[in-house]
Structure 1
Amino acid sequence: MFILETKRLFLREFLLSDAAFLFELNQNPKVLKYTGDVPFASLDEAKNFIKNYTDYSKFGVGRWIMIEKQSYKAIGWCGLKNHNKHFIDLGFRLLESYWNLGYATEAAKACIDYGFSKLNYTEIIGRTMKANFASQKVLEKLGFQYSHIEQVDGLHEAMIYTQQNDKK
């Protein structure tokens, strides 16, 4: 079941069958470079991640697999993460071969619109490392404003961007 649809993408919840894709995605050191995450040690670890991913049931939102409509292939993930009702953050990750093609911006815009219009969030934040200029560019394209730098698990000295819900 698809949660969101854009011009070129479908976004849906993780399925156990996505484990091989997530394992592959997280094996690329360039993909993980600015995330603070470590690669899955095995396909079983990726499967366990999906089995134990409770954000959908807990918060009604989470990270969603991005499916390219033309190929019907998983190319990354994007979504909103509810940090125990303290704040909502936008995240995205793509296969390197899909970088700089506008997919992150397209998916992220749909997620932001969903968060503001369907879930009535008042604010969504984006967090990125200082050296991650590509993610900063995506956030700025989406209308996020730089706020400050703070210590974040795995992202020491993360740049924090915010976007307010103008419709509230």
Structure 2
Amino acid sequence: MAIQLETDRLILKQFSEEDAAYLFELNNDPDVTRYVGEGAYKSIDDVRNFIKNYNQYEQYAQGRLNMFNKQTGEYIGWCGLKYLADKNYSDLGYRLLKRHWGKGYATEAAIACLDYGFKVLNLDKIIGTAMKENTASINVFKKLGLKYSHDNDCGEQPGVVYVITKENWGM
């Protein structure tokens, strides 16, 4: 079953090899990847290999989803849940092209993903992690109703963990 979510302005769908150029552009902007662990891809082929080996959809019925403007088809970024087996929880994440920052897309897409996680996957809780310096991402967590849980390293940087439970999800 392919995962596709829709909001008023967005279509979110699984990564596909045809979309490799979008992910390449996204991850090659140092402003976009400033607060994330991994950096730029070396080539479009690296992105295609990543997509071919991305197993979240098949294994866990969740994953990061490419985000497109419903009206224009323009690529915006990605948003979605990622199951972390070693920690036994699902992580909410998002990454947007810089030209789409500040337009409410991350919040809108994250609402759809949280709804999917709680109502379709029947998850008990979903977490979000961010570097402490990434106040924009933390503000999105707060808008969504995630609550600060604890400090935690984000790679080699100080980070924070926010959590929302199914019983507290009300959007």
Report the TM-score range of the alignment, normalised by the length of the smaller protein. over 0.9
What does residue 97 of structure 2 align with?
95
RMSD: 1.5
Q: 1:54 & 1:66 partners in 2: Cα distance?
A: 19
Match of 1:21 in 2: 22
Asked if the contact 1:34/1:155 (under 8 Å) is kept, the reply is: no
The letter for the 2-side match of 1:53 is Y
1:129-144 mapped onto 2 (5 Å cutoff): 129-144=131-146
Change (3 A) 1:63 1:121: same
1:125 aligned to 2:109? no
Size of the aligned set, in residue pairs, is 167
Amino acid paired to 1:113: D
Equivalent pair of 2:3/2:62 in contact (CA under 8 Å): no
Taking structure 2 as the reference length, what is the TM-score of the superposition? 0.93
After superposition, the Cα gap between the structure-2 partners of 1:155 and 1:143, relative to the gap in structure 1 and judged at 3 Å, is farther
Taking the aligned partners of 2:67 and 2:82, their CA distance within structure 1 comes to 15
Instruction: Flag structure 2 segments of 5+ consecutive residues without an equivalent.
Output: none
Task: Tell me how far apart the structure 2 counterparts of residues 89 and 2 of structure 1 sit (CA, whole Å).
Answer: 17
**Gaps spanning 5+ residues in structure 1: where?**
none
| TM-score (ref. length: structure 1) | 0.95
Map 1:53-72 to 2 at 5 A.
Answer: 53-72=54-73
Matches of 1:167 and 1:135, distance apart in 2: 20
SS in 1 for 2:164: strand
Amino acid at match of 1:39: A
Identity %: 48
DSSP 3-state at the match of 2:54:
coil
